[in-house]
């Protein structure tokens, strides 16, 4: 008799977990060994239970699905992961499949399809719900069209955007004016069918084959790009106010033109940037729409302990200051007090020794 397939269910809604449990229980070889509702519970259960199959949603508290899948598969490389979600967002689908998930199933599809999905991935195959197949086929058509229209310069510009560089940094690296960068960006946006920097970054993450890293050349070259030095100081700005991010980025680059500035408009963007680039310094707004900058600070420090976090607020108070310091922030600044002198002091403190 073969051993049962230990199965863990992860979803933050109790009724959904119950529905999944009932559906999966009808597959004889499966044994439901646990249910979790958030990221920390999932990580703890993975280590404790060492399941063979993980059936998980992408939207749970304290959980970043793509990086979580990568981390989990480092612990359990043979684990089969099936995403069962209501989200048909292309970024989630391609990101999770690239990270190692074996299948992506939509919650509104028939129960019989869920059984097929589980059996398919347990047999070593992959699974996509039918509507997602159509979505990805359309994606391939989009890629082919864009690939034919993008110039080499646009591919390189898309790369620099994907690195989180602002216009000042791109201009410095390409040896052109900021105005020229803005003109190039307008043309690039038109070519790939987007309307903003964030949409362009998303396009780059979905279509890495269209992103062309610029050839590294000496910084003394009159026409080539400046070298991308991994040792450069990098700063992350986390604020949902794009105007403030732009102003703060310009203030930083006026004080230190060589500093790399990354921008994030919400916590999820921030976590992705921190995971990839490990910035030396992060400015995090305490309140971003409905998000909590103090929780964001704690998560940033857990991902990258060496990142120095400065909490900022237009309405600072003593309790927020206490909570922020407890979460790992190095300092708490009033936005009204941030000027060139303050920036220099903060960045000097974050410089590698």
Could you tell me where in the chain the CATH 3.40.50.2300 domains are found? Answer: 5-130, 234-350
Residue showing tokens 């916590």? 267
The maximal CA–CA distance of the chain, rounded, in angstroms, is 72
Q: How many residues does the chain have?
A: 353
The verdict on domain 150-210 having CATH code 1.10.150.20 is no
Residue 15 token pair: 């009724």
Q: What is the pTM for the complete model shown? A: 0.47
**Res 123: pLDDT:** 92
Residue 215 token pair: 């050839």
**Res 226: pLDDT:** 44
Which residue ranges in the chain fall short of pLDDT 50? Answer: 141, 217-231
319 burial via Cβ count (<10 Å: 0-12, 13-18, 19+): exposed
Q: On the CB side of 186, how many CA atoms lie within 13 Å of its CA?
A: 6
Residue of 22, 26, 28 lying closest to 2 (CA atoms): 28
Residues 6+ apart with CB under 8 A from 26: 115
Which helix (H) or strand (E) is 81 found in, with range?
strand 80-85
Superfamily name with CATH number, domain 234-350 = Response regulator (3.40.50.2300)
CATH of 5-130, one of 3.40.50.720, 3.40.50.2300, 3.20.20.70, 3.40.640.10: 3.40.50.2300
**Res 27: pLDDT:** 92
**Res 163: pLDDT:** 80
Phi, psi of 12 (to 5 degrees): -85, 0
With b for 16 or more beta-carbon neighbours within 10 A and e for fewer, the 129-156 pattern comes to beebeebeeeeeebeeebeeebeeebbb
Could you tell me where in the chain the CATH 1.10.10.10 domains are found? Answer: 150-210
Which helix (H) or strand (E) is 285 found in, with range?
strand 281-285
**Res 149: pLDDT:** 66
DSSP state of 8: E
**Res 81: pLDDT:** 97
């Amino acid at each position: 008799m073969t051993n049962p397939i230990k199965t863990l269910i992860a979803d933050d809604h109790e009724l959904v977990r119950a529905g999944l449990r009932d559906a999966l229980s009808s597959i004889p070889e499966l044994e439901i060994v646990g249910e979790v509702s958030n990221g920390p519970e999932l990580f703890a259960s993975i280590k404790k239970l060492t399941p063979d199959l993980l059936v998980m949603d992408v939207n749970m508290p304290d959980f970043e699905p793509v990086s979580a899948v990568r981390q989990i598969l480092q612990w359990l490389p043979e684990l089969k992961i099936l995403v069962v979600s209501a989200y048909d967002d292309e970024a989630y689908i391609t990101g999770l499949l690239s990270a190692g998930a074996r299948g992506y199933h939509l919650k509104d599809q028939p129960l019989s399809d869920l059984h097929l999905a589980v059996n398919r991935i347990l047999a070593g195959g992959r699974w996509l719900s039918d509507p997602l197949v159509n979505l990805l086929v359309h994606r391939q058509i989009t890629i082919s069209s864009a690939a034919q229209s993008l110039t080499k310069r646009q591919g390189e510009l898309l790369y620099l955007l994907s690195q989180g560089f602002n216009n000042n940094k791109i201009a410095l690296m390409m040896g052109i004016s900021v105005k020229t960068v803005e003109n190039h960006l307008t043309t690039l946006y038109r070519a790939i069918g987007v309307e903003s920097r964030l949409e362009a970054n998303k396009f780059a993450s979905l279509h890495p084959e269209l992103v062309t890293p610029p050839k590294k050349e000496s910084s003394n070259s009159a026409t080539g790009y400046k070298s991308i030095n991994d040792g450069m100081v990098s700063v992350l700005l986390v604020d949902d106010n794009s105007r403030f991010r732009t102003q703060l980025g310009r203030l930083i680059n006026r004080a230190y033109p060589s500093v790399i500035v990354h921008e994030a408009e919400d916590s999820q963007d921030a976590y992705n940037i921190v995971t990839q680039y490990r910035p030396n310094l992060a400015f995090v707004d305490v309140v971003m729409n409905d998000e909590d900058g103090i929780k964001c600070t704690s998560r940033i420090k857990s991902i990258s302990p060496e990142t120095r976090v400065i909490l900022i607020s237009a309405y600072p108070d003593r309790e927020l200051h206490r909570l922020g310091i407890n979460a790992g922030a190095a300092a708490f600044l009033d936005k009204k007090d941030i000027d060139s002198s303050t920036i220099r002091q903060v960045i000097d403190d974050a410089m590698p020794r």
